[in-house]
Structure 1
Amino acid sequence: MKKLAFLALSLALASGADAETIRVAIGTQDTTINCATGGLLIRELKLLEKYLPKDGKYKGVTYDIQWKNFTSGAPLTNEMVADKLDIGSMADFPGTNNGAAFLKAGKSSIFLTVLSGSTLGSGNGIVVPKSSAVTSVAELKGRTISVPFASTAHGMLLRAIAAQGLDPQKDVNIITQAPEVAGPALQANKIEAHADFVPFAELFEHRGIARKIYDGAQANAPTYHGSLVAGEYAKKYPEIVVAFLRAALEADRLIAAEPEKYSELIEKVTGIEAAVNYLYHGPLGLQTRDNTWKPEYRKALATSIETLKLMGRESPLKAETFIDDQYIRAAFKASGLDYEAKLKNYDKLALKANDAVTGKPIVDFQRVAGIWLIGEPKVRHYATIEGALADLRKLEGEGKKARGVYVHDLVHRIKLLAENASFVVDGKGQLSAFLQKDAANAYAAAVKGKVLDFAGAQAAAKAR
């Protein structure tokens, strides 16, 4: 019996020794919250393990799943090129740098999928210190503006300045600065403006240290974050790449169904407040989660490649070969989803809710608002801004506090944090919200209304 037991153990050990171990090394950007469905949520919810292949050539395989977090795309790219990572997520412009770096090293990478973005350009933004009198990009002439160099926000900043007829090389002083440094600098008034990517313009606003004066939607330049893979890895393990993308699709489904719950999970992991995460990932969010290669995103990638040339960094990289949608199409099919239908759909995550005061279904979304109270698991929705702010005064009178108040810009249809928005009240007591003070002034003149700040809007709502 002892000999038989020893023989069985020996066979088991031998079998284990022969089993293949496959590395799946993934680089994430946790604090870049619109990468969440390609990283943080997959990792925290262990979604990849559900989809990794376990039969055919993968029968008996052991998976060595490795995760590494980064604050930007450049160091993530360095590790991918050095074969320390297989998959990574980043924005369009850093993604272009990724493709160029691979080619320079005699290799290739593939842009697999979009994760979240905006065909209009919302997400990137420019902020000024809370106490600053500056309200527009034109007023930044002669001032110092910081931005993370080579980021998607850097490109947005250059376009925004040029659109004002200013020379980015002569009329402003642009310096490089990471968001973790820019926050304290804004608070101490050491810089006059800062441009950044998701979610830092809104995060600095929410923390009360800055005020957003410009959103990328004003540039009408599409932007997105997505996932890439090393070309050789995709060629060798296409089924693993599809498994990763199926996990991303499930992460997208989960956060769409319960945005508050997963916004809180993102806060737990990153420290970025759930109210800001919800601004992006909730219904009618600031950006749209989208896994399809819409023409606007393909064009954005081509523009990024052209930008490389303008920066004197020539590369043979071409958008039409850098993007390979066969993997995301396979993931859609395996998950029972229709890629072509999603490709044609430009809608944001729909808001299906009743007004928190009247109980009636919300059907007009131009002036919808939301309040997320501390201690409540769900956001309260309102058909009108005046209805929301009147209810907020009542709730605050009961000792309750809001963790986030949301309104929508009447011009650009983007979601805003209400405390820093400009408002206009018309003769009927109807409130409209605006990101730009000059847009609010123009609208007020057109409707013979009055421009208000958040406190004034609350007072106007109470007076109705």
Structure 2
Amino acid sequence: MTHRFPLTRRLAALLLTATALGAAAPVALRAETIRVAIGTQDTTINCATGGLLIRELKLLEKFLPRDGRYKDVTYDIQWRNFTSGAPLTNEMVAGKLDLGAMADFPGSLNGYAFAKAGRRSRFIAVLSGSLRGSGNGIVVPKESPVQSFADLKGKTISVPFASTAHGLLLRAVTAQGWEPGRDVTIITQAPEVAGAALLANKIEAHADFVPFAELFPWRGFARKIYDGAQADAPTFHGALADGDYAEKHPEIVTAYLRAAIEADRLIAAEPERYSELIERVTGIEAEVAYLFHGPLGLQTRDLTWKPAYRQAVKTSFATLKLLKKADSDIDLDRFVEDRFLRAATAEAGLDYAARLKDEAPLPLRANDAATGQPITDASRVAQVWVRGEAKVRPYAAPETAFAALAELERQGREARAVYAQDRGTGIKLFATQAWYVRDPKGALSAFLLKGDAQGYATAQGGEVLDFAAARASHTQLSAR
């Protein structure tokens, strides 16, 4: 016989069955899966502490909350890699990503894109930057006669449009009193296309963001003739969050920034090791990564929202309106938000206020590899990364480093890379591509630009030399 229970009796029976099966059923009903979808730019190596390193070292898993409202949560961590900020922004606006890393200029575009969609994103942290603007740069083919930006009048310059390098290029053009289309022709070109064009001498100059203005010269087919530091305009790469996601899961956003702080600590302690990791993942040589992330690096890793970086965002807003990429204003104080970073910094036991005031690059705390004496003046520091050695050797001056190079060669060994510091701007250089001034006492000072070296030699006395001549002259002096 079939029994037809009233609805209430059937529900009671089901509840009795669930009770008999134990407590597992109610727990399963409470379980939740939370997506943490992060867009990164692996080849834009200054985003490493907000992406590549967190992912490869599984740092996010270490800091995600697992108590309170997150006690029974399962995290669905998703990583997506992009070559530039624009497609990353598209995915964020489409709701496919919750967090993303990009530079100031595309980051500002991110804010506009969200606003246009009736939503809001938040610029939650800096990852790496330069208060003077170093990192973006302009290169020419290796054999080009061009020695400075002024020599580019009447020529064609390519740049990835809507990138932070585009902003730099426009500022450099304005500083010369030029007008795009009249004095220079600006065309759009992605880094991978520009590299081939430079190699084949099909483009007269190319402006680009981290790390291409250093990578192309390192690979031997370009020369850098302009560094962003000459513009003296702050630039940075940072992290953004979908505003709705940040409001719903502030603890997860804070955990992401805790992971970024830990990634920053690790690479500061062992820049060579993690530069090698960057190379294994991206193919961008460790020697280039170290140029940025090592002590006295080309840019400084710093998560805090310094006033200059806030100004960089404001400048980006103005440039975007000039380019007609935006037609409205964004509230800077609402867009740039540091409360998640302050929470993460406190959890890490760090003093946010003290870091906010610190504008120094990652210091070089080392003894001269030749003399054993502490290096106290960074203005003429040189470094040698010897093939087969895990650590870069520091030297107080280029002439000491050159002497070490000569000895290495006598031993049948070689240097992977040699670095120097620009005497004028303080930026880190590949020593092989620098110009040098040898003063009457034989001391060498390095410069990115030949014109700067000539100016210094005229003012201070001395002779301008390229790398090979500087090495040869020092060898001759040492032999006397």
TM-score by length of 2: 0.94
Mapped partners of 2:352, 2:317: distance in 1 = 26
Q: Residue 288 of structure 1: SS of its match in structure 2?
A: coil
Q: Within the alignment, does 1:402 sit opposite 2:415 as a pair?
A: yes
Give the alignment's Cα RMSD to 1 decimal. Answer: 1.4
Mapped partners of 1:388, 1:19: distance in 2 = 61
Alpha-carbon deviations, 1:296-342, whole Å to 9, x = none? 00111111111121122212312111011110000001111100000
Maintained 8 Å contact 2:100/2:240: yes
Mapped partners of 1:342, 1:320: distance in 2 = 20
Q: Within the alignment, does 1:382 sit opposite 2:395 as a pair?
A: yes
Q: Residue 283 of structure 1: SS of its match in structure 2?
A: coil
Q: Which residue of 2 aligns with 1:104?
A: 116
Maintained 8 Å contact 1:305/1:318: no
Q: Which residue of 1 aligns with 2:306?
A: 294
Mapped partners of 1:182, 1:38: distance in 2 = 26
Which one of the candidate residues 225, 232, 241 is aligned to 1:229?
A: 241
Q: Which residue of 1 aligns with 2:10?
A: none
Q: Within the alignment, does 1:162 sit opposite 2:174 as a pair?
A: yes
Mapped partners of 2:126, 2:212: distance in 1 = 20
Relative to structure 1, the CA distance from residue 400 to residue 7 in structure 2 (aligned partners, 3 Å threshold; closer, same or farther) is farther
Q: Residue 252 of structure 1: SS of its match in structure 2?
A: helix
Q: Within the alignment, does 1:203 sit opposite 2:203 as a pair?
A: no
Mapped partners of 1:422, 1:158: distance in 2 = 27
Counterpart mapping for 1:123-162 below 5 A: 123-162=135-174
Q: Which residue of 1 aligns with 2:263?
A: 251
Q: Within the alignment, does 1:412 sit opposite 2:431 as a pair?
A: no
Maintained 8 Å contact 2:121/2:243: yes
Maintained 8 Å contact 2:107/2:123: yes
Which one of the candidate residues 21, 37, 47 is aligned to 2:33?
A: 21
Maintained 8 Å contact 1:421/1:453: yes
Q: Residue 246 of structure 2: SS of its match in structure 1?
A: helix
Q: Which moved more, 1:402-411 or 1:20-29?
A: 402-411
Q: Within the alignment, does 1:218 sit opposite 2:230 as a pair?
A: yes
Quick one: percent identity of the two aligned structures?
Answer: 67
Q: What's the offset of the Cα at 1:450?
A: 1.0
Q: Within the alignment, does 1:328 sit opposite 2:337 as a pair?
A: no
Q: Residue 346 of structure 1: SS of its match in structure 2?
A: coil
Q: Within the alignment, does 1:77 sit opposite 2:89 as a pair?
A: yes
Q: What's the offset of the Cα at 1:265?
A: 0.3
Q: Which residue of 2 aligns with 1:261?
A: 273
Mapped partners of 2:290, 2:340: distance in 1 = 29
TM-score by length of 1: 0.97
Q: Within the alignment, does 1:116 sit opposite 2:110 as a pair?
A: no
Q: Within the alignment, does 1:92 sit opposite 2:93 as a pair?
A: no
Maintained 8 Å contact 2:103/2:237: yes
Q: Which residue of 1 aligns with 2:364?
A: 351
Q: What's the offset of the Cα at 1:15?
A: 3.2
Q: Which residue of 1 aligns with 2:75?
A: 63
Which one of the candidate residues 457, 470, 477 is aligned to 1:444?
A: 457
Q: Residue 341 of structure 2: SS of its match in structure 1?
A: helix
Q: Residue 365 of structure 1: SS of its match in structure 2?
A: coil
Which one of the candidate residues 353, 361, 373 is aligned to 1:340?
A: 353
Q: Residue 181 of structure 2: SS of its match in structure 1?
A: coil
Mapped partners of 2:284, 2:202: distance in 1 = 23
Mapped partners of 1:195, 1:8: distance in 2 = 70
Q: Which residue of 1 aligns with 2:57?
A: 45
Mapped partners of 1:28, 1:12: distance in 2 = 38
Q: Within the alignment, does 1:458 sit opposite 2:474 as a pair?
A: no
Q: What's the offset of the Cα at 1:447?
A: 2.8
* Larger Cα-atom Rg: 2
Q: Residue 115 of structure 2: SS of its match in structure 1?
A: helix
Mapped partners of 2:387, 2:141: distance in 1 = 26
Maintained 8 Å contact 1:138/1:161: no
**Residue 276 of structure 2 aligns to which amino acid in structure 1?**
E
Maintained 8 Å contact 1:302/1:318: no
Q: Residue 285 of structure 1: SS of its match in structure 2?
A: coil
Q: Residue 213 of structure 1: SS of its match in structure 2?
A: strand
Gaps of 5+ in 2: 1-17
Q: Within the alignment, does 1:319 sit opposite 2:332 as a pair?
A: yes
Q: What's the offset of the Cα at 1:165?
A: 2.1
Maintained 8 Å contact 2:398/2:420: yes
Q: Residue 95 of structure 2: SS of its match in structure 1?
A: coil
Q: What's the offset of the Cα at 1:158?
A: 1.1
Alpha-carbon deviations, 1:164-209, whole Å to 9, x = none? 2221221111111111111111011010111000110000111111
Mapped partners of 2:21, 2:289: distance in 1 = 51
Gaps of 5+ in 1: 1-5
Q: Which residue of 2 aligns with 1:3?
A: none
Q: What's the offset of the Cα at 1:10?
A: 7.6
**Residue 284 of structure 2 aligns to which amino acid in structure 1?**
I
Q: Within the alignment, does 1:238 sit opposite 2:260 as a pair?
A: no
Relative to structure 1, the CA distance from residue 191 to residue 341 in structure 2 (aligned partners, 3 Å threshold; closer, same or farther) is same
Q: Residue 67 of structure 1: SS of its match in structure 2?
A: strand
Q: Residue 165 of structure 2: SS of its match in structure 1?
A: helix
Q: Residue 368 of structure 2: SS of its match in structure 1?
A: coil
Mapped partners of 1:419, 1:458: distance in 2 = 10
Aligned residues: 459
Q: What's the offset of the Cα at 1:364?
A: 1.1
Q: What's the offset of the Cα at 1:77?
A: 0.2
Mapped partners of 1:34, 1:8: distance in 2 = 57
Q: What's the offset of the Cα at 1:75?
A: 0.2
Q: Which residue of 1 aligns with 2:438?
A: 425
**Residue 389 of structure 2 aligns to which amino acid in structure 1?**
E
Which one of the candidate residues 147, 160, 171 is aligned to 2:183?
A: 171
Relative to structure 1, the CA distance from residue 215 to residue 15 in structure 2 (aligned partners, 3 Å threshold; closer, same or farther) is same
